[in-house]
Structure 1
Amino acid sequence: MKLARYCYNNQPGLGIVQGDRIIPLNNDPSLPEDMSELLYQYQTLQHSLLSLINKAEHSIPLTNVKLLAPIARPGKYLGVGLNYADHIAETGLERPDFPTLFNKQSTCVIGPGDAIHRPRISDKLDYEGELAFIIGKRCRHVSVADAHKVIAGYTIVNDVSVRDWQVKSPTWTLGKSFDTHGPMGPWIVTADEIDPHNLELKTWVNDELRQHSNTRHLIFDCYQLVETLSTVCTLEPGDVIATGTCSGVGVKMKPRGYMKPGDKVSIEIEGIGRLSNPVIIEPENNSVIE
């Protein structure tokens, strides 16, 4: 099932995507209005959701709605570095024995079609097409064997990185957390409909294919990441974990293939869909004091 957040007639809502239409959930007051809560209750609500699909009443063409990031403000947004063998090869680094994990601040999240800002402070703006999974249960100390039970679904993310700011700090967090540098979407595909470890992944900048790999090449797969993370902290519904990128990032191209204003970056993952975002220069009036 494809679960989405969207805006229609200036009203946000949750819906089920079926083909080229979306079925709103807000017509049923018994259903949650928050995506994290919907994911948490998904198994018990599945019959009600299937009934809505079968009725297909009040559906809206996708062209008439604005899709939003499926998780507006994750409680945790964690990323994994150096998690594809081909990406490690292009960096010249050694294969890790333990996953390299970092935070992306949740204020970076934007939705499909929203603009990625190239910051005024740097032109080293890079893309990273990635599969992400979303936690659906509050959990701690989850084994690899049980990890599938706590993953609610999967989506596409672009782990946008400002490369010079990434290396300023050994945690990488600053270079990964600029506002607008967390595109996510276009929706969540529930875990009962997808094998996360055999999906084709492609990234284009404009019409140029930059990345092409398959999630079977992940060094630490989704279930291993759940075990590692839940050993340390409690994972909660709506937490987002991006699983890492493959080879073909702009920083390793000759000449460098950084994104620039006017570009459009698109990421496609088999079984999920396509996430596209334009790139613009950071607006001059972007300062906020409230």
Structure 2
Amino acid sequence: MKLASYVHDGAAGVGVLDDADDITPLPGVTQIDESVADLLATFVPGGPTIPLADVTLRAASPAPSKVFCVGLNYLSHVEETKRDLPVYPVLFPKFASNLIGANEPIRVPEESTQVDYEGELAVIIGRRGRRITEEDAMEHVLGVAVANDVTMRDYQYKTHQWLQGKAWDGSTPIGPVLVTPDEVDLANAGIRTILNGETVQNSDLSRLIFSIPTLIAKISEFTVLEPGDIILTGTPSGVGFRRDPQVFLHPGDHVTVEIDGVGRLDSAVVAE
């Protein structure tokens, strides 16, 4: 099942997207919240629909209370950064104001000259939990989406903390839709990033150092996970900062992130 978070005629909504690209709105739902998992469990197709072409897509979860990002979660990316293999997930935050939908361009801010791409799988929480075990973790997952953890490298490395390079407003597309886990091979799905027609990242989810259940268990040890919260699970090797010569995003570029079974996130790059 696929879920779209959208705006239609000025009103926000969340609905089920069918194979004909029509959205059936979930009644009374304006964002991913505690009601969505229960509504999906009893969902029956039928009723009024909205054509996908008539809506503006928002981020797959547009108003999370928390966004957790994982650094260095593919062995190949650890190797290209020349860092030690992590024994605990490298975590940093983003904020709801950082997120954009699939219809919105990536805006290059005038302050940064090193804007980088990072194709990632986003995990969206559907049920509240604290101290969740790995065995129970997937019961708390509503779905997954494609993400691009756009990073301002010159700001990221101003200090040993990464926040200032990762949390720029309107910088992180997630979408176009949320796909429930039963439709995705989360153990092996391929992930790739394509910049101006050239594949610059190419891997699969089997190469994650910390699995989705492990990440959920580790994070929920220290904080409650709420419906709508997002975990960005890390990026493979091939980021622009580690290339020789380095490659960064500029106005006029076009960057795509694909994950098999999840979707394709196409983003134009423009000047802010």
Name the TM-score class by shorter chain: over 0.9
Q: C-alpha offsets along residues 196-223 of structure 1, whole Å, 9 cap, x if unaligned?
A: 2211101111211111100110000110
Equivalent position to 2:39, from 20, 41, 45? 45
Q: Does 1:167 align with 2:161?
A: no
| Residue equivalent to 1:197 | 187
Aligned partners of 2:36, 2:188: CA distance in 1, in Å? 24
Q: CA RMSD in A?
A: 1.6
Give the Å deviation of 1:25.
Answer: 1.4
Give the Å deviation of 1:160.
Answer: 0.5
Aligned partners of 1:130, 1:198: CA distance in 2, in Å? 14
| Residue equivalent to 1:207 | 197
Aligned partners of 1:235, 1:170: CA distance in 2, in Å? 26
5 Å-filtered alignment, 1:1-290, equals 1-25=1-25, 31-37=27-33, 40-46=34-40, 48-49=42-43, 51=44, 53=45, 55=46, 57-282=47-272
Give the Å deviation of 1:19.
Answer: 2.0
For structure 1, the 5+ residue unaligned runs are 283-290
Give the Å deviation of 1:70.
Answer: 1.9
Pick the structure with greater CA Rg: 1
Q: Secondary structure at the match of 2:144?
A: strand
For structure 2, the 5+ residue unaligned runs are none
Q: Percent identity over the alignment?
A: 39
Letter in 2 for 1:138: R
Give the Å deviation of 1:47.
Answer: 5.2
CA contact (8 A) 2:12 2:30 kept: no
Letter in 1 for 2:121: L
TM-score using structure 1 length? 0.89
Q: Secondary structure at the match of 1:36?
A: coil
Aligned partners of 2:36, 2:52: CA distance in 1, in Å? 23
Aligned partners of 2:240, 2:138: CA distance in 1, in Å? 33
CA contact (8 A) 1:134 1:154 kept: yes
Q: Secondary structure at the match of 2:78?
A: helix
CA contact (8 A) 1:21 1:61 kept: yes
